Amino acid sequence: MSERIVVGMSGGVDSSVAALLLKEQGYDVVGVFMKNWEEQDENGTCMAESDWRDVREVCDLIDIPYYSVNFAKEYWDRVFSYFLKEYRAGRTPNPDVLCNREIKFRAFLDFAMNLGASRMATGHFVRTDEEGRLLKGTDPNKDQSYFLYMVHEAQLKKSIFPVGGMTKAQVRKIAEEHHLPVSAKKDSTGVCFIGERNFKKFLGGYLPAQPGDMVTPEGEVVGRHDGLMYYTLGQRRGLGIGGRGDGRSWFVIGKDLEKNVLLVAQGEDHPLLYSTRSVAEDVTWVGEAPMQEGETVTCTARYRYRQPDQPVEAALRDGKLYLHSLVPQRAVTPGQSAVLYRGEVCLGGGIITEVSDAGVTVP
């Protein structure tokens, strides 16, 4: 009897090709669609219906059984509530990181094991080795290890990533050659539960907005903001103050929650957009910790998805990660993740809580 592998299928081309490849390799493959969000879009259409239809069509074509499982309550409790809490605190969260830890590699993994699977599979562009270490995907433009740094080795050893060693172009070519109905489907972008809807309108339905002043570092009021939660560090679009100042573009350089003030400045290379030191909390390691309490190591870090690796000195103090970037970093954003690497290996990381040059030092 062949080994059973349950594939988490989103209705996209990556997970569809993952299921196809595993079927061709002789595994007993089961496709499972995860429904994590109940809400309808602005047209009254359930956003998951079309994806679920695509999953059914692909599974019928490659001749594997399929199921749908509803994790909406788990998603609300473990991911969305955190998402709202972070925005309420003035930070810019990354719910995909938490979704991978809490839903895909916890709730879904448990579901797969209950279906009699020995392993689960996804369409993530990452790889693992025999030791269960998390490795970057082969395609540098699609590598998703940044989003999986909260997943532990024990979970990775029960997981398989069939497209992790491929480029996106290769994945699409396989889908086309096998006439999969999703071969030309666009990649999903943004936060999954918001979809293509207006972000400001969506967030405003859950959190009350508090408009306030836009202020320069010199204290000049140059406009009004709609609510601090709608803006992120380094943002240029949507500020509505383009006609002010010396003609250069305006950028968000910070937030003052106590005064409800959005700090803005002109110039893409404004010094206040850059920093070399930051602190991350909620630190998690994929495997064995790369440093002990009180130790400093040299490695690389990413402060956002698709960013090239940046050389850093990382120190662990009182459970917090203190990062000293050897190259000034632009728009390092509280609420986002700082993820550490050593070569191809993703070590782990944490949630950025402080960004500074003068105010944050390694104790």
Measured at the CA of 127, the angle between CA 125 and CA 132, to 5 degrees, comes to 140
Q: What is the pLDDT of residues 259-280, one digit of tens each?
A: 999 999 999 889 899 999 999 9
Does residue 93 contact residue 282 with C-beta atoms inside 8 Å?
no
Tell me which of 46, 59, 192, 299 is the catalytic residue: 192
Hey, what domains does the chain have and what are their CATH numbers?
A: 4-177 (3.40.50.620), 209-268 (2.30.30.280), 273-356 (2.40.30.10)
Give the residue with greater pLDDT, 98 vs 193.
Answer: 98
Give yes or no for residue 1 having a pLDDT over 70: no
Does 299 qualify as catalytic in the annotation? no
Tell me which of 59, 99, 299, 346 is the catalytic residue: 99
Q: pTM of the prediction?
A: 0.92
Say what the pLDDT of residue 164 is.
Answer: 98
Confidence of residue 46 (pLDDT cuts 50, 70, 90): low
Does 46 qualify as catalytic in the annotation? no
Q: What is the pLDDT of residues 184-216, one digit of tens each?
A: 888 876 566 666 567 888 888 899 989 999 999
- 103-to-9, 74, 195, 243, 315 alpha-carbon distances in Å: 13, 7, 18, 45, 30
Q: What is the pLDDT of residues 324-335, one digit of tens each?
A: 999 999 999 999
Q: What is the pLDDT of residues 6-38, one digit of tens each?
A: 999 999 999 999 999 999 999 999 999 998 887
